[in-house]
Each structure stands twice: as C-alpha cells, then as structure tokens.
Structure 1
Amino acid sequence: MGCTSSIPGRYKNGRRRKKKGSRIAEVAVFVPCLRVPVAVDLQQGLRGIVGREVVERIMQRRSRIVLLAQENVLEALEGILEVQRALEDYLPVLIGLIEKERRLEALVEFKWRSLGDNGQEICLASAWYELLSVIHMMAILSLLEANQLLIPKDCVDARERKVSEDAKKVAVDLLLKASGFLEYCIHHILVHLPIHIRRNLPKDLQEGVLEAVSIQALGQGVEMQLGLAMECDKATLPVKRRLACEEVIYFAQAHYCLSGCENSDANGKKLLLFLKYKYLEAKSAAYYYHGLVLGKGSEPNDQVSSVWCHFAANDLLIESKRACLSFCLAKPLTRVPAAWGVMKHLQKKIPETASKKSQMYGDLIEQDKAYQTLPDLPEFTLSLKPDDYELPEIAEFWVGDKSQPQIQMLKEHLKDDDDDDTFEPIEDLNL
C-alpha cells in the first residue's frame, strides 16, 4: 500500500523553518490547493523487470516535473505553461505502467506533496494513483492559469480593472478543460484503484471533491459568459436571465457534491464558503434579470412579481457580500475581490432598481403582502459541458525490445547460443 506522512514542509531536520513573507492572494477563479510530485527511487521497483532505457526515461521526465513544480515557478504564467508541457510529456511514459498485461501497476511507490499549510505527503504503491495525481495537477494548473488571466498584474487600482473579452473567452476554455480533466479522473481512473488505495487518497482526490470542483469550473464558465453577454448589445434579457439561472444550478450542484464529503481541512472549508458566496451572488443576478423580464409582461401580476424579484435580488446581494467576507477571512486568507464583470454592473443596478420599485409600488406591495410570494426562478437545461479528454498514445519505446530488461534479453541470447552448439561425445580413455 505504501506509506503516508503528514510532516509539514516548513519543518526540516527537526527544526521549524522561518516562514517566508507571503502575499495575500486574490481569487477570481477558485483554485484548490496544488499537489506536486516528490522525488522517489523508481529503479528499485523496476530494475530487472523493465528495460533500463525505459526506467531512465520515466525518471527523467518525472524528475523534470519535480524540479519545475516549485511555488515560485508557478507564480508566473510562463511557469504554469512549462509545467503543463512537462506533465504532457510524462503521460505517454507513465501509461506503460498501467497496462494490465505488464503487471507493473503496484511495483513502485509514488509520492506527492500538498503545497498547503499542512504540507501533507502521500506515498502509495500504485501507478493509477500517479496517473490520477498527474491529471489532477493538470486540472488545477488550468484553473490557476484562468485565475491569473482574470487578475491583470498591471492594474494598480482594482476598481478600474478591466478584463478583456479575449481573456474571458480563453478563461472559459481553460475552465472547460479543467472540468474535463477532473471528469476523466472520476470516470476513468478512480474506478481502477483498489479499495485500499482509494481509502488512503488525500481528501482533495476523493470523488465528491473532484466532482464539486469540476462543476464549480462550469459555473464560473457560465459566469464569464454572462459577463460577455452583458457587454454585448445583441444579447437579450432572456439570454442573460438564462445564463444567470444556469449559474445558480451549477453552484448549487457543486455545493451539494461537496457537502457530502469530509471537509474538516482548511481547503474543504474554504471551497464550501466560496460555493455559498458564488451561489448567492448568482441567485441575486438571476432574480434581477427575472424581474426585468417579468416587468415587460402583460399579465396583471407581472409587475408585482417583478418588484418582489428585485427586492429578493437586493437581499441576496447583501447576503452574498457577507458570504464573500467569510470566504476571504477563512484560512488561507484571500483578498476581498474587486467587483468586475457582470457584478461590477449589478452591484450598482440592483440596489437602484430595488429602491426605485419600492417608491413606485410600495403601497401596492403593502396591500398584497399577505398574498404575494416570491416567484420561482425558471429552470433551463444546462448548456456547458466539460471538454472531452483522452490519454495520449503510449510512448514508442514501450513497444519492442527496449521495454524488456537486459537480464531477460541476455537469457534469451544464451538460450539461442545453447541451441546452436553441438557437443561431441567424450570417449572413454580408460584413464
């Protein structure tokens, strides 16, 4: 099964290392704690079973990821892209270890470390665990890349921040890509892990957590689409309402998936708070646009229902700000995000509209207060789906003699030589 260790990285040789000065991060896209590979001895488990060249290729490509996956490297977009390329180069080599006919899956212990405060290390003898960790890392790096695109570094005043249309579109693509990676982990990797390995997986690799983060990525993709629709003159109110309602469903589903998991760790609690904050924010936007659509209706109760929607939108907006603050104060601390995109517009429009409707229809609302209920939001078929992901082809050197151990090839060579030799009988010399 392997070994597990939870010694934080800030401890070395029994001493507590001094903490480096840390910056408080800002979140546009929620990025779960990154896990990175730790150097392990692959030769010990594979020597004599796999060809020397194959072992060296596996070690070289994995060692490159270990070297690149440092926190300071991942702070820059170029570093993220370089690590992604290294992971993609590693996959064709790694795939050879999970093929059934080779029976290599449990021969090597693979170790990964969390970059969170606990610095937890998990070491398991499973090539499927290694594959799960690699694909998961690719997903988290995609989320990290999307987050960096949406937080321009050259903007001094956050209130004046402008995210380009191209950046939002690229962010949507990255979110769908990340969701696809996580869906592949759930449906094509976890099912191959033995029960004893699944029980020892870190919490962020549990099925419910993977599913929650995958759906959260889709919800934030719709959030980007709503922001693009708001800036487009051709986008109608029903289109904006539909996107806002879809966003509500995504975040509700993600929260449901995560609520069934063990979330005693800081990362789990942080994600739960983020999903609650985003759900309330999305619901506020959905009721605002629903109220505008109803306000254009011809039915007698449409205007009253519209007013109730805008009151609800204002209350939800206030509640979402409280939830946002709770999320930011939870460890690890994050900066209160500046209003941008659709919420930069709605944080001003929702209170204004609610106040205006209260002045216009206040008396009517008071008269019908006992009989009026908040209308339900319309339900729509969800439009965004995770990108399909398939593993690359196995590396060529796994096919043929190069993948065979040298000792086995030597035995076959000697056997061939034995077949060719002819032995003359020894005559009795009567010595």
Structure 2
Amino acid sequence: MFLVLNCLFLGKRFKLLLLSGVLVYKLQDMGCLVSTPQDTAGGNRKRQGNVGEVAVFVPGYRIPKPVDFSQPLGDSLSKSLVERLSALRTRVVVMAAQEAPTASKSRKRTATQHGGSTVSDLQQALEDYLPVLLGLLKEGSNLQYMVHFIWVNQEDEAEETALPNAWYEVLSVLHLMAMLSLSQANMLLLPNPAADGYQPKGSEESRRLSIDIFLRAAGYLDCALKHVFPQLSPDLRRDLPVDLAEGALRSLSLQALGQGVEIQLGMAIDSVKATLAVKRRLACEMVKYWQQAQENIMRLPLTNGWGEKHKLFVKWKHIEAKAAAYYYHGLILDEGNTEKSHGMAVAALQAAEEFLKESKKVSDAFNKSPPISRNPPLWGTMKYLSEKIPKDTSSKVRINRDLYTSEKIMETAPALPDFALALKPDDYQLPPVDPSWNDHETMKAQPVASQRTPGRM
C-alpha cells in the first residue's frame, strides 16, 4: 500500500511517496523566488556562464546539503559517533559548496593555508568520511534507512534529490571523488606558456600523472557500478537523479579511459621508439572507448545546459579519435605494395581529414553550449594531427592518383582494425568500516533489519 502526496512548502512542490513505511521525497522547482537554480546547492549554487579553457570536461558537480544525524540516530548510536558523522559530513558540505562554483574553471587552484589545493583537501575530506559512513551499512542493522541524504544535482532538472538510504550517500560520495579527479586532470593538462614565448605545452610529468588520475577516476566509478549499484533496489535505481544513472557512470568511466589513451598516444607520438602499429592500436582503442561512452550517454535524458554540453564533448572526442585512427590506419595501408592497399590508404586518409574537419565543428558547438568554454591552445596529440593529417592526405592522394586511375581509389573508408581494450580502471575497493564502530558501547541494541525497501519518489 502506498500514498502519494503533492504539497507546497516555501514555494517548492514536494512529491511524497509513502511506501512500506519509508518516506521519500524529491524537490521540483516551481520558479519561485525562495529557491531557484541560482541559489540552491548548499546555499551557494550558481549556474556558471563561462568555465574557461577545457581539456577535460567535468560534468556539473553533485553538491551535498546539510542533514541532521542526531534526530534519526540519537537513540541508536552513541553521542560521540553521531557527532563524528555530523562533523565529517559538515566538513564535506562546506568544502564542496566552496569548490563547486569554480570546479570547472581553467585557472590553477591557489594553495590553501595547509599547503594543498582545495580539490585535494575536499578529496581527503571524502576519504575520511567514507569509512565512518559505511558503518551505517553494517549487516543486521536498519541504520541505512534512517537518514535522508540530500544532494543538489546540476545535470538533472530536479533541484534536489533526497533518499533515506546510506547506499545512495556512498554512491554520491564516489561520484564526487571521481569528478574531483577529472578536475585535477583538467588542471594538469591545460598547457602552460612556454618559457621561450613560443607554443604552449604540457610537461611529460603532468601527462604521466594525468593518466594515473584518469584511471583513479574510472576506478571510483567502476566500484560504484560493481559494488554499490547491486545494493540498490530496482525502485531506488529508477529514482536516482540522471547524473547518477548507471549509463551516466559508465559513460564517465569510459570517458576517463578514453582521455587516458589519448595521453598515451601523445606520448607515443613524441617517442622515436613508438612504431606506426603502436600508434594505430592506441588510436583505434581510443575510438572504442569514446564510442561506448557515446552509446551510454545518448540514452540518458540529459536535457539542460550541463547535460547537452556533456553529450557534445563526448561526440567531439569520439570524432576526433576517428580522425587519429584513420590517419594511422591509412599510413600503414600505404606501406603495402599493391594497388588495392594504396587505394585503401587514400580512402582512410581522406576519411581522417573529413573527421578532423567535423571534429572542429562539434568542438565549436561544444564551446558555445552553456556554460561557455574554450579550447586551450593546441599542443600534444591534436596539434600534431591537425598539422599532419591535411598535409599527408594531400600528398598521398596526389601521388596515388598519379599512379592509378580514379576507379582504383576507394570511395568509402576501410574498416578500422578491432583491438582489445588495454587500459582498465584502478581496482578501487570500498574501505573497511572505521574502527570506532567496533566499540561495543557505540552501538546500542538494534532491531534486526526489517523488509523496508526505499520507495520511488
């Protein structure tokens, strides 16, 4: 038996669903002056008009809002543990509210008074909070259903999503940890002005470090998909905001891996030891990562500014990856000694040039889509390919057309080779429950977990 209630409070419409004794609600904006998309998010949410240079697209952050642990848990846990939970989460709330307005900004973060960046400090705050939070999920306890965890969503049209399930909180924490990692990678990959005043470039150390960060971000998301999603009921999964949907998490994980391979390709381009075969393999793997990322994200109802921009970013990088893959495939085919191989090479190189032109158009559309952004000065992989693809295509087409009749030149590009994907997410595991939960005085007598199942909003 369930009861649906629609009511007004402070200008907001609450949709309430009472199912199996559990109350769930989701806030829906009514355009009032009390709470709008510009002033929510922990009291400090603001839509960004311009996010500056973007090397790595960081979707809109999910920001936690304050919750009261003492009222639902005061009769079940010791005062000290309730206070610790509250203090750790409040620290996250405050730091996330400070970080969110500048999360995607291209400027370098300034050091904090403790010597680290705000991003790394927030990451540490989440890591400190997670082991204590996991205590609410101890087997045989119904504590996981007792607190309504509230988060503001930037890629979802709903202003807030609040669910009485600690697994929802764990999922949100892992998502934020992944977003912070992508933000760190973006900062690393924005090129610094060259000391000689010429072309800006990124350092070798920054590129290597960014690959580790991409794998870490993918690891957080992979953990969420493998270890958190199975704990959520089908109803609860349907009630998740779109930026926590299974497809969104998979797309983000594949995005991180795709950008990691792009960095590997750039390093291979700079290496005199890397063969054309190695470069082609990396480029073809990059296509597969971005293709899968696009397949996942296109199924999602991402309809607002952040969501549309995210879709355009994935589309842009997918097309850009195709340009690289067809270029190296064409160069290898051209090494053949037959008319057929030379004809296939020309078709592949022409496809590479067309994909390069198309990627620039989609890149422009991405940057113009709100929040407005711009590409950093070209360097690395795309600077090299932007120069080489038109030059080599023109040369190979001219040579081969001088040798063969036009009938021998393929009109459609040959299929790309299919390589197994080599780059994998880090094997991130949820940390063990904080030792404070082992204190026999901490836990008071708990009823055996009932059949309570979080309902839909």
Partner of 1:33: 60
Query: Which segment drifts farther, 17-26 or 190-199?
Result: 17-26
- Assess, with a 3 A threshold, how the Cα gap between structure 1 residues 108 and 221 changes in structure 2: closer, same or farther: same
Alignment coverage as a number of residue pairs: 407
Letter in 1 for 2:432: E
Q: Shift of the alpha carbon at 1:32? A: 1.3
Aligned mate of 1:51, from 78, 81, 84: 78
Structure 2: stretches of 5+ with no match in the other structure: 1-22, 40-44, 111-116, 447-457
Distance 2:404 2:303 in 1: 45
Q: Distance in 2 between matches of 1:142 and 1:9?
A: 33
Instruction: Give the distance between the partners of 2:197 and 2:288, measured in 1 at CA.
Output: 29
TM superposition shift of 1:261: 2.3
C-alpha separation between the residues in 2 aligned to 1:202 and 1:61? 24
- Flag the 1:146–1:310 CA change in 2: closer, same or farther, 3 A: same
Distance 1:13 1:371 in 2: 59
2: CA distance, partners of 1:221 / 1:40 = 37
SS in 1 for 2:161: strand
1:205 maps to a residue whose letter is L
Indicate if the aligned counterparts of 1:8 and 1:118 stay in contact, CA closer than 8 A: no
Q: Is the 8 A contact 1:27 1:337 kept in 2?
A: yes
Counterpart residue identity of residue 279, structure 2:
K
Aligned residue for 2:3? none
Q: Shift of the alpha carbon at 1:29?
A: 1.2
Secondary structure of 1:292's counterpart equals helix
TM-score by length of 2: 0.82
Over the aligned positions, Cα root-mean-square deviation in angstroms equals 2.8
- Structure 1 residue 365 displacement after superposition: 5.8
Partner of 1:382: 421
Question: Structure 1 CA distance, aligned partners of 2:194 and 2:154?
Answer: 28
Does the 8 Å contact 2:37/2:47 carry over to 1?
A: no
* CA distance in structure 2 between the aligned counterparts of 1:14 and 1:342, rounded to whole angstroms: 42
| Counterpart amino acid of residue 355 in structure 1 | S
Partner of 2:335: 296
Which string of whole-angstrom CA distances, capped at 9 and with x for unpartnered residues, describes residues 204-234 of structure 1?
1000111011111111110000001001111
- Partners of 2:347 and 2:409 within 8 A in 1: no
Counterpart for residue 2 of structure 1: 24
Name the residue aligned to 2:123. Answer: 84
The answer as to whether partners of 1:179 and 1:387 remain within 8 angstroms in 2 is: yes
Residue in structure 2 matched with residue 424 of structure 1 by the alignment: none
Match of 2:237 among 177, 198, 215: 198
Mark the CA change 1:197 to 1:13 in structure 2 (over 3 Å): closer, same or farther: closer
1:153 offset after TM fit, Å?
6.0
Normalising by structure 1, we get a TM-score of: 0.87
Q: Which amino acid aligns with 2:26?
A: T
**1:310-343 deviations in whole A, cap 9, x for unaligned?**
1111111111111111111122221134322111
1:428 aligned partner: none
The CA deviation string for residues 143-194 of structure 1, in whole angstroms up to 9 with x for no partner, is 1110111114667999822011110111111111111111111111111112
Q: Find the counterpart in structure 2 of residue 356 from structure 1.
A: 395
Q: How far did residue 307 of structure 1 move?
A: 1.6
Residue 185 of structure 1 aligns with an amino acid whose one-letter code is A
Aligned-partner Cα distance in 2 for 1:155–1:332: 28
Q: Which is worse superposed, 238-247 or 1-10?
A: 1-10
Distance 1:319 1:175 in 2: 26
Q: Identify which of 166, 181, 196 aligns with 2:220.
A: 181
How do residues 128-207 of structure 1 correspond to structure 2 at under 5 angstroms?
A: 128-152=167-191, 160-207=199-246
Q: Is the 8 A contact 1:159 1:339 kept in 2?
A: no
Which structure features the higher share of helix residues? 1
* Closer, same or farther: CA 10–156 of 1 in aligned 2, 3 Å: farther
Distance (Å, rounded) in 2 between the aligned partners of 1:67 and 1:200 = 26
Matching of residue 342 in structure 1 with residue 381 in structure 2: yes
Secondary structure of the corresponding residue to residue 147 of structure 2: coil
The residue correspondences of 1:8-407 to structure 2 (distance < 5 A) are 12=34, 23-69=50-96, 70=98, 71=100, 74=103, 76=109, 78-115=117-154, 120-152=159-191, 160-364=199-403, 367-368=406-407, 373-405=412-444
Task: Call closer, same or farther: CA 1:211–1:10 in 2, change over 3 Å.
Answer: farther
Contact 1:281–1:316, Cα closer than 8 Å, also in 2:
yes
- The answer for unaligned runs of 5 or more in structure 1 is 410-431
- Whole-angstrom CA distance in 2 between matches of 1:3 and 1:361: 66
Tell me the amino acid that sits aligned with residue 124 of structure 2. R
What is the CA distance between 1:79 and its match in structure 2? 0.3
Q: Which amino acid letter does the alignment assign opposite residue 296 of structure 1? A: E
Q: Which moved more, 1:177-186 or 1:119-128?
A: 119-128
SS at match of 2:145: coil
**CA shift in 2, pair 1:195/1:397, >3 Å:** same
Whole-angstrom distance in 2 between the partners of 1:224 and 1:9: 43
Structure 1 residue matching 2:273: 3-state secondary structure: coil
